[in-house]
Amino acid sequence: MQFKIYFPIIIFALFFSATMHSQNSKRQQLEARRTQIQKDIVYINALLSNTKRKESNLLSDVKDLKHKIKVREELISVITSESNELNNEIYVKQLEINKNKRDLETLKKDYADMIFKSYQSKSQNSRIMFLLSSENFFQAYKRFQYMKQYTSFRKMQGEEILEKTTKLQALTDSLKIKKDQKTALLNEKKKEQTVIEKERKEQEKLLSQVKEKEGNYKRQIQKFQKEEERIDAQIERLIREAIAASNKKAEGTSTKTTTGTSSKATFTLTAEAKELASKFTSNKGSLPWPVEKGYVSTYYGKQPHPIVSSATIQSNGVRITTEAGSKARAVFEGTVLAIQVMSGNQKAVLIQHGNYITVYKNLENVYVSTGDKVSTKQEIGTIFTDRITGKTILGFILSKNTDTENPASWIYKM
């Protein structure tokens, strides 16, 4: 019978506990994300403000501003989600406080009634007479036990009232903290919205200047795109030559394992190389960034130019903006396949991981040589800083044989 009475209470308690745990876990994730974005904003602002330019580059300025706005919009979105989670927590906490208040009021009323009736009907003498009027020793013993249990019950009720009062105070204090947190979040959101509004007005002003010379900027973009295509074609040629040399060397060996079909340029892997490729694949989505700090300023694939929408760009990898003097580092263990010298004496390092290739472009100098074994996160060169724009940008490409893949699918949280 008692189980039937308490079963719904137990179910509610378990559900309430699970709900609170789930909400706290989600809000902790949002809070961690918010903190990270705030750090990113500080880093990006510092990075861009420290960029020393010999001449103004309007397209670069607009692109930088657009990226800052995008990151700040993400921060506002996370703040909104976190605020909504806090609303849910505040609501659930208020329900718990209301329930505890009702329970406490009931306990106090019952306790007051019991004390009143106790003093109204039983003095010390009446208790003694209650015992002496027993018909036999057994009845007297039972009455004594009853009086003892009654006293114990009163004490227990008093302790329960104290415990409920303490719990209610703790819940009230917790609710106040959550309300203060929500107020702080809303103030932060308001502050970010003010900043983003200012940045958007500045962006509109710059875009109107770009519009006036859109034709010139479009030709500038197309020129840059052609140069990128030329460099990527050189890199693909190097990979094809490496595939041909590797396959020729592997011909006639007993340990070779052929991947792909004969119609495509694919590496013929040794057992060791196949194992390395398997390890590389198993780390998809968790590979480290090719720089210690930075942000993606150009994403993978065919896309309209972020500023001049009439121009289209094709990116076989990603471009990562970082600090001057930053080092490029290998995202996985492997062997240096080739070092390509590009226009302006910048260099590209190709690292082979079985039948996967990672390419690190726009290096001022390199610390490795063709054939060197490299380890994960090993520094392979210093990234070139453009003397005119002041930008330090690493081009990063990831391919399987000669087919490029989106690095964002491979690099952790890219």
pLDDT of residue 183: 92
- Quote the pLDDT of residue 32: 87
> Kind and range of the H or E element at 110?
helix 58-121
Does 414 map to a domain?
no
Structure tokens at 9: 């209470």
CB-side neighbour CA atoms (13 Å) of 116: 6
DSSP string, 53-71: -SS--HHHHHHHHHHHHHH
Given CA atoms 47, 50, 53, 57 in this order, what sign does their dihedral have?
positive
Same domain for 184 and 238, yes or no, is no
Helix (H) / strand (E) containing 345: none
Residues 205, 299 within the same domain: no
Per-residue pLDDT tens over the stretch 38-75: 888 888 877 766 655 544 577 778 888 888 899 999 99
Residue 21 has pLDDT above 70, yes or no: no
Residues 189 and 259 in one domain: no
**Which candidate, 286, 361, 374, 369, places its Cα nearest to that of 328?**
361
Q: Give, to the nearest 10 degrees, the angle between helix 214-250 and helix 137-212.
A: 110
Number of helices (H), then strands (E), in the chain:
6, 14
Same domain, yes or no, for 203 and 245?
A: no
Q: Are residues 197 and 224 in the same domain?
A: no
Select the highest-mean-pLDDT range: 28-37, 163-172, 179-188. Answer: 179-188
Write down which residue in 210, 244, 267 finishes a domain: 210
- What was the pLDDT predicted at 111? 67
> Under 8 Å CB-to-CB from 130, ≥6 apart: which residues?
122, 143, 147
pLDDT at 131 over 80: no
Clarify whether residues 199 and 119 are in a common domain.
Answer: yes
* Residue among 384, 346, 383, 365 nearest 235 (CA): 346
Average pLDDT, stretch 67-88? Answer: 92
294 shares a domain with 231: yes
Last residue of a domain, one of 210, 233, 261: 210
Q: What's the rounded Cα separation, in Å, for the pair 17 and 21?
A: 6
Residues 37 and 174 placed together within one structural domain of the fold: yes
- Residue (of 187, 107, 192) closest to 153 by Cα position: 107
**Of the ranges 215-229, 246-260, 356-370, which one carries the lowest mean pLDDT score?**
246-260
Torsion of CA 174, 180, 181, 187, to 10 degrees: 170
* Within-domain flag for 373: yes
Q: Is the pLDDT of residue 287 over 60?
A: yes
Residue 215 has a pLDDT of 83
Distance CA 116, CA 105 (A): 16
Give the lowest-confidence range in 292-296, 307-311, 361-365.
307-311
**What CA–CA distances, in Å, run from 35 to 31, 321, 366?**
6, 21, 35
Report pLDDT digits (tens) over 228-274. 888 899 999 999 998 888 788 767 554 444 444 444 788 988 899 99
| Residue 114: inside a domain | yes
Q: Is residue 84 part of a domain?
A: yes
What are the tens digits of pLDDT across the range 139-162?
A: 666 766 766 666 666 667 767 777
Average pLDDT rounded to a whole number, residues 206-229:
84
Q: Is the pLDDT of residue 409 over 90?
A: yes
For residues 324 and 311, the answer to whether their CB atoms sit within 8 Å is: no
- Reported as a pLDDT band with limits 50, 70 and 90, residue 205 is confident
What range does the domain containing 275 cover? 214-409
Question: In CATH, what number is assigned to the domain containing residue 258?
Answer: 2.70.70.10
**Residue 217's pLDDT band (boundaries 50, 70, 90)?**
confident
Q: What is the pLDDT of residue 316?
A: 95
CB 357 within 8 A of CB 237: no
| Mean pLDDT, residues 172-182 | 89
Regarding whether 164 and 33 lie in a shared domain, the answer is yes
Q: What is the pLDDT of residue 195?
A: 92
Is 244 found in the same domain as 193?
Answer: no
If asked whether residues 235 and 206 sit together in one domain, one would say no
CA distances from 413 to 33, 118, 289, 300, 379 (A): 12, 69, 9, 15, 21
Percent of the chain, pLDDT > 90?
Answer: 40
Token pair for residue 139? Answer: 């009845």
- If asked whether residues 205 and 58 sit together in one domain, one would say yes
Rounded Cα–Cα distance for residues 321 and 323 (Å): 7
pLDDT at 246: 79
Q: Within 10 Å of residue 139's Cβ, how many Cβ atoms?
A: 12
Of 210, 244, 276, the residue that ends a domain is 210
- Average pLDDT score over residue span 313-325: 94
Q: Name the domain count of the chain.
A: 2
Q: Report how far residue 299's alpha carbon sits from residue 296's, in angstroms, rounded to the nearest whole number.
A: 7
- The answer as to whether 269 is a domain residue is yes
The pLDDT value recorded for residue 118 is: 61
